[in-house]
Structure 1
Amino acid sequence: MGSAAVAAIKLRKRIKLEEISPVRLVPLAFLAAILVGAGLLMLPLSRTPGSHEVVMPALFTAVSAVCVTGLITVDTATFWTPFGQTVILALIQVGGFGIMTLATLLALLVRKSLGLRSQLIAQSESHTLNLGDVRGVLLRVARIMLACEAATAILLTARFWIAYDDGLATAAWHGIFHAISAFNNAGFSLFSDNLIPFVDDPWIILPICAAVIAGGIGFPVIIELLRGRTVHKGWTVHVRLTVYGTLILLALGTGLFAWFEWDRAETLGPLSTGGRLLAAIAGGVFPRTAGFNSINYGDAAPETLLITNILMFIGGGSAGTAGGIKITTFLVLAFAIWNEVRGREQVTIGHRSVSSPVQRQALSVALLGIAAVMIGTVLLLVFTDYGLEQALFEAVSAFGTVGLSTGITYELPANAELVLMALMFIGRIGTITVASALALISRPILYRLPEERPIIG
């Protein structure tokens, strides 16, 4: 056997799937799903006749669907056939549930057993805290997801069927598609104007908002709430931060959206009082990485765009379908600042202390997120003729896997589309996961260097 053959065998052994660490396998799995989805969308069966450009729309749509973002460069309703729309829906479901979580659940159902490596892979994707709980968590996640999607689909189907003269089959398809898209915080819609035609219809907007919140709050929080625990009986710091943070951000988002847009003729002005209030609620919920829009954000006030940027960057709960840096990350940093201002050495939340590694992780996630958004914004400014406001909004939306746009996504050149795809990919799998997957194998340090304190500020 020659030296070349020996080298090839050694290389194959090094790249065996089972030898890849879980933190590196998750990005590879998402990438594989994107490539498979793009390949399916490139088939003539997936697109309507007359569509000439295929590769970039298929690749961009696959990235957006798997990363549950919702940014689109072609109209989902007219460019893709029912088969193509089904592919997009499947990619949304797979992306929301998590490639490795889904693979592990299928292995559980088929083999009735899980290996240690499979449990580690599922843990790295689903953010479960106890390795022994992975099986139960995966099954509960699947049941919760299907139950929420089914309930939302039934409500939407009934509304589309009764109020909008859709046939039962069409109404059911619209209901199922938007229910799955909502719970997975994807924001894909089968209507060319997204949810703008339903801006004042509570039977459409409110079920979608509820599904968005349920999917974005995070599976660990949902499981704890379903156990019947109250704030005084066993709520963890994570649950408290997520629940209270979600309520506060929803209230602030809704209130500020109403304040800035209430009388503007371009957005809420023509609506009734009830319609304005409903649109304001949607304006507070949808930026939490949902991607749906019931107004045209290209006509929104600059103040609204700024607040929306903040909400999109923060995102939703951990281990859910939402993106962004996550509520817990934002609030851990906020409490760290508050305790530092008060001169406290220990960061405390709800009579519990937060360890230094958790604080460093939160800081790393936030700073890496800021870096990704800033680099993406600069590249969009270089590659396009749009201003800072539009470029920043697009970059934050992509990184936060939100899907909102001021309307410029359709007009972006190919290199700008690649920038958004990179931001969506990084935002979906997490900045820490990306950094860890690309980093070299860490080695323990067996010594400590002398401490020195640089001047801060």
Structure 2
Amino acid sequence: MRAPLVGRFGRPDNRSWLGTMRDAVDAFVRNSPSRFAITVFAGLILITTLLLALPIARSGAGTGGTPLYDALFTAVSTICVTGLTVVDMATHWSPFGNAVIFIGMNIGGVGVLTLASILGLVISRRLGLRAKLMAASDSNPSRIHVGPVAERQAVRLGEVGGLLVTVAVSTLAIEAVIMIGMIPSVLARGFDFGTSVWYSAYYSVSAFTNTGFAPNPLGPVAFFDDYWFQSLMILAVFLGSLGFPVIFALARSWRTPRRWGVHVKLTLTTTLILLVAGAITFLILEYNNPKTYGAYGLGKTLYEALFMSTMTRSGGFSTIDMSDLYGSSLLVTDMLMFVGGGSASTAGGIKVTTLAVLFLAAFAEARGAPSMQAFGRRIPRDILRLSVSVVLWGATIVAVSTVTIAQITKAPLDFVLFDVISGFATCGLSTGLTESLPPEGKYVMAATMFMGRVGTVTLAAALAASQRRQLFKRPEERPIVG
């Protein structure tokens, strides 16, 4: 008879295969939490793809399952909370398929970093130091590279547990409030109570997670004259695009703005500036466009311009056809989508804080200042290097995807660029090009959405785990720039 295995403290090791697997995953989380996050995200997409490809997920008897490329695209768009579609979301999916998408939007909205931290906590029953560093990295990416820093941040290392609770509570609370507020508007459109509750829940989740999926055939156009419904959508998208670290900080000290960290102030300031500037720009460029806002009065045009500016933050809802916009408006939308929302938010893009850091660096250089400063605090140059890397990496993804899809489809460049940036920034607005993509184009767009949602910070953190500290410096020489 074989002797039992002996574990620590001389006790027999009677762990089951489940316990062994949990220990293996625990070791993976400790050694490389960011790579674990990417793995979990890819696994969720794979599971969602398989579920959506089942015949039960598609509406209509005897229609068979959804083609793999359509199921994969929808799964990526759902988990990445992008909102781009290649099928009619209101009619293609069965109740089972809609349930999968509804759950997927919530999971994707939590975010890859927080999701990995929660799973690591559940599996290992503790949140180790490296996992805490990973979860805190959205509010301070330099912690992954150079360790804790002195400046105040929206979320400190010891507050990650509170952040995880805030994510769950704030998500459910905000979605519930928005849903309840939407029910009267949906009822007023003639839907029964059950359908109204379902549509309201779907819209609230889709808006707060910045996905942009619509459960009804007409989408937001059905509520074009309902200012209350559209205002709730604006509020949900705005809150979702701020980021959980900002929501966490505001929940703690909303009465004392002086206690807010630089991250919170930069996110709020830059977001409001882009929101107002975008609305004014759309008002100026589209006020005389008969296909968009030209047929409405000043008040309606101003409100719809604000709605449009908010949705470019990554919301993805639209009450007009994007292909009807002037070329200048398409370009402005490209820029707003590329920036996206706040760090650790349900929005995509390079993030508003990245843009703010670049402007602060340019302003400091113009003044000859030795360092960047904002709200009485000095911002280290490591953040500038990370911001430049984020922009270059994002621009590279957009450029490669644009060239590839343009070659595949031979479509106009402005339409291709618009949809590619929308996919990278997980926005969901489309000129109609995405729906007509061939299978190979859908795979390229799905990869673009995945890279945009996983984010350069997560990829940088994954690479940082294997980097070595250089113990020497090479001779310095300055190239000619400009």
- TM-score of the superposition, structure 2-length normalised? 0.87
Aligned residue for 2:314, secondary structure, equals coil
Single out whichever of 178-187 and 413-422 deviates more from structure 2: 413-422
Single out whichever of 273-282 and 433-442 deviates more from structure 2: 433-442
- % identical aligned pairs: 40
Sort the Cα spacing of 1:261 and 1:226 in 2 relative to 1 into closer, same or farther, 3 A. Answer: same
Output the CA distance in 2 between the equivalents of 1:281 and 1:51.
42
- 1:45-444 equivalences in 2 (<5 Å): 45-49=56-60, 50=63, 53-99=66-112, 101-102=114-115, 104-105=117-118, 113-116=126-129, 118-124=131-137, 129-161=155-187, 163-229=188-254, 233-437=258-462, 441-444=466-469
Output the CA distance in 2 between the equivalents of 1:52 and 1:102.
29
* 1:114-142: CA deviation from partner (whole Å, max 9, x where unpaired): 34455445445786743321111111121
Output the CA distance in 1 between the equivalents of 2:25 and 2:327.
52
Output the CA distance in 1 between the equivalents of 2:470 and 2:307.
50
Alignment RMSD: 2.4
Is the Cα contact below 8 Å between 2:111 and 2:345 reproduced in 1? no
Sort the Cα spacing of 1:174 and 1:347 in 2 relative to 1 into closer, same or farther, 3 A. Answer: same
Aligned residue for 2:178, secondary structure, equals helix
**Matched residue type, 1:143:** V
Is the Cα contact below 8 Å between 1:196 and 1:296 reproduced in 2? no
Output the CA distance in 2 between the equivalents of 1:103 and 1:437.
13
Output the CA distance in 2 between the equivalents of 1:86 and 1:116.
36
Aligned residue for 2:474, secondary structure, equals coil
Aligned residue for 1:353, secondary structure, equals strand
* 1:152-189: CA deviation from partner (whole Å, max 9, x where unpaired): 1011112101x101111000000000100100001111
Output the CA distance in 2 between the equivalents of 1:106 and 1:383.
39
- Partner in structure 1 of residue 9 of structure 2: none
Shift of 1:259: 1.4
Single out whichever of 23-32 and 256-265 deviates more from structure 2: 256-265
Aligned residue for 2:426, secondary structure, equals coil
* 1:81-132: CA deviation from partner (whole Å, max 9, x where unpaired): 1211111111111011025534644676899743445544544578674332
**Matched residue type, 1:158:** P
**Matched residue type, 1:30:** F
Output the CA distance in 2 between the equivalents of 1:324 and 1:419.
18
Shift of 1:373: 0.8
**Matched residue type, 2:185:** R
Sort the Cα spacing of 1:360 and 1:350 in 2 relative to 1 into closer, same or farther, 3 A. Answer: same
Aligned residue for 1:233, secondary structure, equals helix
Shift of 1:265: 1.3
**Matched residue type, 1:425:** F
Is the Cα contact below 8 Å between 1:380 and 1:419 reproduced in 2? yes
- Partner in structure 1 of residue 37 of structure 2: 26
- Partner in structure 2 of residue 44 of structure 1: 55
Sort the Cα spacing of 1:436 and 1:221 in 2 relative to 1 into closer, same or farther, 3 A. Answer: closer
Single out whichever of 421-430 and 255-264 deviates more from structure 2: 255-264
> 5+ residue gaps in structure 2?
1-22, 141-153
- TM-score of the superposition, structure 1-length normalised? 0.91
* 1:259-286: CA deviation from partner (whole Å, max 9, x where unpaired): 1122211111233444323211111100
Single out whichever of 91-100 and 393-402 deviates more from structure 2: 91-100
Shift of 1:321: 0.7
Is the Cα contact below 8 Å between 1:292 and 1:404 reproduced in 2? yes
Aligned residue for 1:319, secondary structure, equals coil
Sort the Cα spacing of 1:99 and 1:232 in 2 relative to 1 into closer, same or farther, 3 A. Answer: closer
Output the CA distance in 2 between the equivalents of 1:406 and 1:439.
38
Output the CA distance in 1 between the equivalents of 2:417 and 2:114.
32
Output the CA distance in 2 between the equivalents of 1:160 and 1:355.
49
* 1:290-346: CA deviation from partner (whole Å, max 9, x where unpaired): 111111101111111111111100011111111100000001001101111122221
Sort the Cα spacing of 1:331 and 1:117 in 2 relative to 1 into closer, same or farther, 3 A. Answer: closer
Single out whichever of 193-202 and 203-212 deviates more from structure 2: 193-202
Output the CA distance in 1 between the equivalents of 2:296 and 2:469.
62
Alignment length (residue pairs): 445
Aligned residue for 1:195, secondary structure, equals helix
Output the CA distance in 2 between the equivalents of 1:158 and 1:395.
36
**Matched residue type, 2:172:** L
> 5+ residue gaps in structure 1?
1-11
Output the CA distance in 2 between the equivalents of 1:379 and 1:182.
30
Aligned residue for 1:348, secondary structure, equals strand
